[in-house]
Homo-oligomer: A and B are copies of this chain.
Amino acid sequence: MEQRVSVITLGVRDVTRAVAFYRALGWEPQQDEHDDVFFFSAGGMVFALWGRAQLAEDSCVSDEGGWGGVTLAHNVRSPAEVDAVLEQARAAGARIGREPAATFWGGYSAVFVDPDGHPWEVAHNPGWELGQDGAVRL
């Protein structure tokens, strides 16, 4: 199995609301013939939004409704960019988990939680360089 992830799908309770939230952050899904799943091109991978019940069934798991041990991060090029993305998330209606602050690992980050409870850390890590396209290579 090659060392890469192709798709991250977030299960959501209201796909229309979820798409509106990510659009408010500046993201835009691809047009698709299936109107119940929304695909966003995200560098060399795909970010998708789909009904949580359908995703649970398709993923062969039972769903008790809480957080499930997955957190996404969006790394940026400066502490100021962490602040700016957090304000954008706040304006889009996200719950703010942590306001921007220095972290124990020597960076600067904040957490917002999307309308379906999926947390995103927005981080500046001075030890990780981002490519022109935003790619992180360790």
Shortest distance between the CB of A15 and any CB in chain B (Å): 12
Shortest distance between the CB of A50 and any CB in chain B (Å): 9
Q: Is the CB of A3 within 8 A of B30?
A: no
Kindly state whether residue A8 has any CB partner on chain B within 8 Å: yes
Q: Is the CB of A63 within 8 A of B72?
A: no
Kindly state whether residue A111 has any CB partner on chain B within 8 Å: yes
A40 to B111, CA, bound (A): 22
A10 to B89, CA, bound (A): 23
A66 partner, pick from B64, B105, B137, beta carbons under 8 A: B64
A100-114: CB near B (< 8 Å → 1, else 0) gives 000001000001010
A8 partner, pick from B12, B26, B70, beta carbons under 8 A: B70
Q: Is the CB of B10 within 8 A of A41?
A: no
Q: Is the CB of B69 within 8 A of A118?
A: yes
Shortest distance between the CB of A13 and any CB in chain B (Å): 9
Kindly state whether residue A17 has any CB partner on chain B within 8 Å: no
A137 to B113, CA, bound (A): 27
Q: Is the CB of A75 within 8 A of B131?
A: no
A64 to B131, CA, bound (A): 37
| A residues whose Cβ falls under 8 Å from a Cβ of B | 1-12, 25-28, 30, 34, 39-47, 52, 55-56, 58-76, 85, 88-89, 97-98, 105, 111, 113, 116-119, 121-123, 130-131, 133-138
